[in-house]
Amino acid sequence: MEILHVSAECYPVAKAGGLGDVVGALPKYQNQLGHIAKVVMPMYRTKFLYEHEFELVHKGSFGMGAYWFNYSIIKEKTNLLGFDLYLVDINGLLDREAVYGYGDDTERFTAFQIAVVDWVAKWNHHPDVVHVHDHHAGLVPFMMQHCFAYRHLSAIPTVLTIHNAQYQGWMDWDKSTYLPAWDSWAWGKLDWQNRINPLACAVKCVKKVTTVSQSYLEEMRHAANGLENLFEFERGKCTGILNGIDAAVWDPAIDTYIEPNFSKKDAAKGKLANKKFLCDLYNLDIEKPLFIFIGRLVHEKAADLLPQAIYDAVYHIEGKMNFLVLGSGDPSVEWQLENMKSQLVGYYNSKIGYNEKLSHQMYAGADFLLMPSRVEPCGLNQMYAMRYGTIPIVRNTGGLRDTVIDYGDPDGYGIRFNEASVGDITYSIYRALQVYNQPKLLKKMISTVMELDFSWETSAGKYIKLYVGLK
C-alpha cells in the first residue's frame, strides 16, 4: 500500500511538538510493515536541510488569489529517515526558520497544500491513501474532491489525524479565492460558523478521522473548541488510535544526548548520574527529588498554574524538592518562570526556549514529570518519561488518562489527579514525595514504567487496518 502523509512537521526535519514526533515515526513503522509510506512537508530553513542532500523531483506553479507561485519538490537522497521525504520549496514563503508564528501563516500553509495537490495530480499513478495531519493539511481532501483541476484525484481515499483540535486554521471568507477554482455548491464543506475552517473541512471531506487517543475522541464531543457538534455528528467515521513513541530514538540505552546511558537493570545508577549532571548545571540539590516540566508554556498545558504550584510546593512542603522547567510560549508565563529563579535559588531553575538535547537529559535525570494539561490529545512526554524511568504526574484527561494508571489503583505506576488547579498539583507533588520516601515502592514503579510498551508497531498496524477498510 502506498501512503502519502501530508504534514507541517516531521522530526528531525522540523518539529514544534508531538505532531513532528508522530510524523517522523509512523511512516517508518508503516514501511517496516511492508508498505510504502512517504512524507511531504514544507521546506523550512532548518539545520536538517543544510546537512543533507536533496534532489529535485518536480517543478510547478499555481495561482493563489492575486499571487502566482513557483514551487519545487525536492527529495532527500538517502532515505535516511526510513521513508521517502519530500519537501515543498516555495521561495520566500515557506523557507523560514520557524515552522509557525508568522503573520502570513494562512497564505504559507494554503500555498503548501495547493502545491502538494498540484504535485500529486502530476504523478503517473495514484497513492492508495492520502493521510493529512491537523489543520495545516486540512484543505487537501477538499481540493482533491472539489477543485476542478484536481477532481481526477477524488477517488483516492483520504484520512485525517487530529493531533490537536484546539487549532483549526480559521480564515475569513475573503480568502476563499486562494483556493484553485472550486465547485461553489461545496461551500458548506469549507464553512464553520461563517468562516473557512480547514480542520472542520477535513473532518467533513475525509473518509476516516482518527484522534491520537480514545479518551480525547470522547472528550471532543464535549470540548473541541467549537467543533463539538461536528464531532458528535461525524462520530461514525472517527476512531482513536494511541500514538506510539519511536523506541529507536527514545531509548535510554542508546540515546546519544544522555551520559551515561542506562537500561532497566542499572536504572538507579544511570538515572542518578544523569540527575547529578542536571543538578550541577542548574544549581539544584541532588539529595532531593527532581520534578520537571517540559512543553509549550500555553493554557492548554496549564503552564500558567506552574509558577504558583511551584511556590506553594516549595513553601508548604518545606522545600523538600527541586523543580526544573523547560519550555517556551506565553510571554507572561515565561516572564514569571524567569523571575522566580532569583526567589527560589537552589530549589528551582528553568530554561526558556526549545532544546531537544536538554529535554532528553531531563527525561533521563528527573524523578517525576509534571503534566497538569487542561487538554492533552495524546501527550508524548509522559511516555518518554516512563521509558527513561521517570514517574509521570498527570491530569486525568485525554491520552494521559489512557497511558497512566495511578499507583493507588490495581497495577498502577504513576500519579493522576483530576483538576487543573494549583491545589491538585501541589497535593500530587506531596503524594510523589511519599513515593520518593519509600525506596522499595519507587524502585518497583521505575521498573514497571520502564517495561511498558508504547512502541509504534501496534499503532502503525492499526492505521494500516483502517486504510484497508477504506478500499
Tell me the residue number closest to ligand ADP, measured at CB. Answer: 18
Q: How far is the CB of 400 from ligand ADP (least distance, A)?
A: 9
Residue with smaller CB distance to ligand ADP, 35 or 360: 360
Determine which residue in the list 106, 355, 421, 447 makes contact with ligand ADP, applying CB under 6 A.
355
Determine if 356 is a binding residue for ligand ADP (CB under 6 A).
yes
Residue with smaller CB distance to ligand ADP, 141 or 295: 295
| C-alpha grid cell, residue 393 | 504526574
Determine if 213 is a binding residue for ligand ADP (CB under 6 A).
no
For residues 380 and 295, is the Cβ–Cβ distance under 8 A? no
Determine which residue in the list 4, 10, 18, 198 makes contact with ligand ADP, applying CB under 6 A.
18
Residue with smaller CB distance to ligand ADP, 231 or 388: 388
Q: How far is the CB of 352 from ligand ADP (least distance, A)?
A: 8
Determine if 104 is a binding residue for ligand ADP (CB under 6 A).
no
> Which residues, in sequence order, are bridge partners of residue 391?
368
DSSP string for residues in 36-68: EEEEEEE----HHHHHS-EEEEEEEEEEETTEE
Footprint on residues 266-325 left by ligand ADP (CB under 6 A): 294-296
Residue with smaller CB distance to ligand ADP, 17 or 372: 17
Residue with smaller CB distance to ligand ADP, 204 or 360: 360
Q: How far is the CB of 300 from ligand ADP (least distance, A)?
A: 7
Buried-state track 105-123, b at ≥16 Cβ within 10 A, e below 16: bbbbbbbbbbbbbbbbbee
DSSP 455: B
Determine which residue in the list 305, 380, 391, 422 makes contact with ligand ADP, applying CB under 6 A.
380
Indicate the residue type of 33: L
Residue with smaller CB distance to ligand ADP, 380 or 450: 380
- The residues near 217 (Cβ < 8 Å, ≥ 6 apart) are 211, 231, 238, 239, 240
CA 22 to chain centre: 7
- The residues near 415 (Cβ < 8 Å, ≥ 6 apart) are 368, 391, 392, 393, 394, 404, 406, 407, 428, 431, 432, 435
* CA Rg value for the chain: 23
Q: How far is the CB of 163 from ligand ADP (least distance, A)?
A: 7
CA 219 to chain centre: 18
Residue with smaller CB distance to ligand ADP, 177 or 332: 332
| C-alpha grid cell, residue 251 | 531509548
The span of 46-54, 372-380, 412-420, 443-451 binding ligand ADP (CB under 6 A) equals: 372-380
The span of 13-21, 195-203, 314-322, 338-346 binding ligand ADP (CB under 6 A) equals: 13-21
- The residues near 112 (Cβ < 8 Å, ≥ 6 apart) are 8, 42, 88, 90, 94, 136
Q: Which residues bind ligand ADP (CB under 6 A)?
A: 17-19, 21, 164, 294-296, 326-328, 354-356, 359, 378-381
